[in-house]
Amino acid sequence: MTRLSDPGEHGGSVVANGNAAALTGALRPARLRARTRRRLTGLTMVAPMLVIVLAFLGWPLIWTLVLSLTNMTVTGPTATHYQFIGLANYRELFASGSGLVQSILLSLYYLGASAYIGQALFGFVLAYLMLRCTTTVRKVVGSIIIVCWLVPEIIAAWMWFAMLSNGGTLQQGLHAVGIPYQTWLVSHPMISVSVANSWRGVAFSFLLFSAALSDVPAELIDAAQVDGANAWQRLRSVIIPLLATTILVDFVLITLGTLNDFTLIFAMTGGGPGTSSNVLSVFMYQQAFVTFRLAYGTASAVVLLAIGAVFSFIYIRTLRRQGALNFAR
Over the stretch 57-84, which tens digit does the pLDDT of each residue have? 888 889 999 999 999 999 999 999 999 9
In which region does residue 168 sit, left (phi positive, over 0), alpha (psi from -120 to 50) or beta (all else)? beta
Which pLDDT value is given to residue 180? 85
**Max CA distance (Å), the chain:** 110
At the topology level, CATH places domain 95-321 in MetI-like fold (1.10.3720)
Which pLDDT value is given to residue 60? 87
The answer to whether 158 and 200 are in contact (CB under 8 A) is no
Which pLDDT value is given to residue 2? 47
What pLDDT, in 10s, does the model give residues 90-112?
Answer: 999 999 888 999 999 999 999 99
In this structure, what is the dihedral angle of CA atoms 17, 22, 26, 31, given to the nearest 10 degrees? 30
Which pLDDT value is given to residue 190? 96
Which pLDDT value is given to residue 24? 55
What are the distances in angstroms from CA 165 to CA 118, 187, 230, 291? Answer: 21, 11, 45, 27
Closest to 319 in 3D by CA, of 253, 230, 238: 253
- For the chain, what is the radius of gyration of the CA atoms? 29
Which pLDDT value is given to residue 284? 94
Domain map (residue ranges) of the chain? 95-321
Distance, CA of 209 to CA of 165 (rounded, Å): 33
Which pLDDT value is given to residue 1? 45
In degrees rounded to 5, what are phi and psi of residue 84? -80, 125
Closest to 212 in 3D by CA, of 247, 172, 174: 247
pLDDT < 70 positions in the chain: 1-27, 323-329
**How many helices and strands, by DSSP H and E, does the chain display?**
17, 0
